Amino acid sequence: MPILFEMDLELPDKYLRKDESPWENSDPTSLGFNGNELLQVPPPVAPPARAGAPPVPQAALDAARVARIRTIKQDFVRFALGMFAQSFETYPLTFGYAAQAQAPQGTADVLDVRGADGFALRFLIQTDTHMPIMVSWTLPPTSVVVAVTGQPAPTTVAPGAVVVTAPAAPAASAPQEQKDQYARDVLALRQKAQATPVEHRIYFADYRDVDGVKLPFRLRRAIGPDTTEETTFDRFQINPRIAAQKFAVTR
């Protein structure tokens, strides 16, 4: 689904992305951070308390907000490495040389990148041009879908989901012990798939000169072998005046 977007970045610690879908009857949304504060429109809403249950403690809401900001910063870092290839004050990184590898663009230097909270990824830089090629990292599957032999396979699977194939279930007349063993086998398949990380990648391409800085005008995100998002930048503006209101924090 096509989306129009605009990113505003004011180093070292301000970032905002605004998304708009002209083909849908919906208002624009935005997401980012200002230091350690969340920027989000529409703002996050606390989950409703269950009937008869006490309201969600403020400490839990604060922890969820911190986790949300951390996730946004980590996603920003993955994208921004293709722009700047450096550490960021808002989410510091360390770099270590890992190896050389062959990429479609030629030989690439592979760097191990580490950050707080267990953040880790591989960063590939083309050896001769020194342009970033790709970042890759692993995450647990978003879900596990079980396809049963002899039944129609799922036609659509959410990005990050894993499909595992299970044998056909025992007949209704089969002994209960056999049915119980089948249930345990399917559960084991699910658990094994859930414990196997899925590789995520962002590819950077079409570098062009913008006021003396080379920037990628095309990004592609993939989960496993499947492309999930393609991004084309129309233009970049370096050192423009950004209204302070864009990074205003609201509660």
Domains of the chain as residue ranges with CATH: 4-140+197-247 (2.50.20), 143-194 (no CATH)
Residue type, 96: G
SS3 state at 182:
helix
Prediction pTM value: 0.83
User: Beta strand 106-114 with 198-210: parallel, antiparallel or unpaired?
Assistant: unpaired
What is the C-alpha to C-alpha distance for residues 30 and 41, in angstroms, rounded to an integer? 5
What is the C-alpha to C-alpha distance for residues 191 and 82, in angstroms, rounded to an integer? 35
User: What pLDDT is attached to residue 251?
Assistant: 65
Query: pLDDT grade, residue 61 (50/70/90)?
Result: confident
CA 70-72-77 angle, 5° bins: 95
**Is the per-residue pLDDT at 67 higher than 80?**
yes
Beta strands (DSSP E) in 21-127 are 29-34, 37-41, 94-103, 106-114, 120-126
Query: pLDDT grade, residue 89 (50/70/90)?
Result: very high
Q: CB of 35 within 8 A of CB of 16? A: no
What is the C-alpha to C-alpha distance for residues 148 and 183, in angstroms, rounded to an integer? 13
User: What pLDDT is attached to residue 193?
Assistant: 86
Q: Which residue from 173, 141, 175 is spatially nearest to 158, judged by alpha carbons? A: 141
